[in-house]
């Protein structure tokens, strides 16, 4: 079980806005905003945590230099939510890495969509339930 994950952003505001759009359709919202002004290792940097009510499960953290792309998959309740995630991501400035659809290579009911966020990270929404 994953407690929380983070993604790093050189363009913090664009990346934060992207995740606010795509995660909103999955029922996630901003749960916490931080500024690291007092931290000598991260002066002036920001972070935003998203999650379901009261949980900080996915963080976007501002960095100065790009890091290796990451892959993060978010659970969607149904296939309509996967479709909405993909549409919201494209509208919010993401790029298409794979439109919503079945991916039977993983299992017969694997329905997912793939995007890149503004920093090039691979993000996915997936529903494992049968149609």
The H or E element containing residue 115 is strand 111-116
pLDDT digits (tens, 9 = 90+) for 55-107: 999 999 998 888 878 889 999 999 999 999 999 999 999 999 999 999 988 89
> At 37, which CATH number?
3.10.180.10
pTM: 0.81
pLDDT digits (tens, 9 = 90+) for 20-43: 999 999 999 999 998 887 767 667
Q: Is 31 domain-assigned?
A: yes
Task: Based on DSSP, count helices (H) and strands (E) in the chain, helices before strands.
Answer: 2, 8
SS3 113: strand
Range of the structural domain that residue 36 is part of: 5-60+70-127
pLDDT value of residue 95: 97
Beta pairing class for 58-62 and 5-9: parallel
pLDDT value of residue 41: 67
Q: Is 100 domain-assigned?
A: yes
The side-by-side arrangement of strands in the sheet containing 122-127 is 71-75, 122-127, 111-116, 95-102
């Amino acid at each position: 079980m994953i407690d929380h994950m983070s993604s790093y952003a050189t363009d913090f505001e664009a990346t934060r806005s992207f995740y606010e759009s795509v995660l909103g359709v999955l029922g996630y919202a901003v749960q916490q905003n931080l500024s690291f002004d007092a931290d000598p290792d991260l002066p002036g940097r920001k972070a935003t945590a998203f999650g379901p009510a009261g949980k900080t499960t996915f963080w976007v953290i501002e960095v100065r230099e790009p890091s290796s792309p990451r892959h993060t998959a978010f659970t969607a309740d149904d296939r309509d939510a996967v479709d909405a995630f993909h549409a919201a991501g494209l509208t919010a400035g993401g790029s298409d890495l794979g439109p919503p659809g079945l991916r039977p290579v993983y299992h017969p009911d694997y329905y997912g969509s793939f995007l890149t966020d503004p920093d090039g990270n691979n993000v996915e929404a997936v529903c494992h339930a049968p149609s």
